């Protein structure tokens, strides 16, 4: 079993909303956090507050690739955002393939009366859970 460590924060960056999730202390499961709406303030200040509150040791940012695996403008924006987070939080940041996370989030929420940020939150949970599962597989 894993030793308790600092948590991992997942960020699913969007133009308007930022989906967020955090791992449990053992790095086994991902829990969704309230989605951050960029029009309501500084996303980096919000991420710093979350990093302190949850004792985050690493951040994972969703990397949107095309289905063929090619990079796009969104991929480049996510990489720039990841670098900005790394500078703002002074924490290591990993990019994680999120090709199907939003589509899966829509599927999970189909038929529900979920609020606007729910898809972003579920996508962040899916990104983080995939990262945690892969990380555990490597240990």
**Domains assigned to the chain:** 7-138 (3.30.420.140)
pLDDT of residue 118: 76
pLDDT confidence of 72, banded at 50, 70, 90? confident
Q: What is the phi-psi region of residue 21: left when phi exceeds 0, alpha when psi lies from -120 to 50, beta otherwise?
A: beta
End-to-end CA distance of the chain: 10
pTM over 0.75: yes
pLDDT of residue 119: 75
- List, in sequence order, every beta strand (DSSP E) within the chain: 7-12, 17-23, 30-37, 56-63, 93-97
Query: Among 7-21, 22-36, 58-72, 120-134, where is mean pLDDT lowest?
Result: 58-72
pLDDT confidence of 1, banded at 50, 70, 90? very low
Instruction: Choose among 17, 9, 12: nearest CA to 103.
Output: 12
pLDDT of residue 34: 95
When pLDDT is averaged across residues 44-68 and rounded to a whole number, the result is 90
């Amino acid at each position: 079993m894993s030793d308790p460590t600092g948590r991992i924060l997942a960020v699913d960056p969007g133009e308007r909303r930022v989906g967020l999730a955090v791992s449990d202390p053992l790095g086994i499961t991902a829990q969704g956090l309230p989605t951050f709406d960029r029009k309501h303030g500084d996303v980096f200040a919000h991420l710093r507050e979350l990093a302190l509150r949850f004792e985050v040791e690493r951040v994972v940012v969703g990397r949107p690739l095309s289905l063929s695996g090619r990079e796009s403008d969104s991929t480049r924006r996510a990489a720039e955002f990841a670098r900005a987070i790394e500078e703002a939080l002074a924490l290591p940041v990993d990019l994680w393939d999120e090709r199907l996370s939003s589509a899966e989030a829509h599927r999970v929420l189909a038929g529900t009366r979920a609020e606007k940020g729910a898809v972003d939150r579920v996508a962040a949970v899916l990104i983080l859970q995939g990262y945690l599962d892969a990380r555990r597989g490597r240990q």
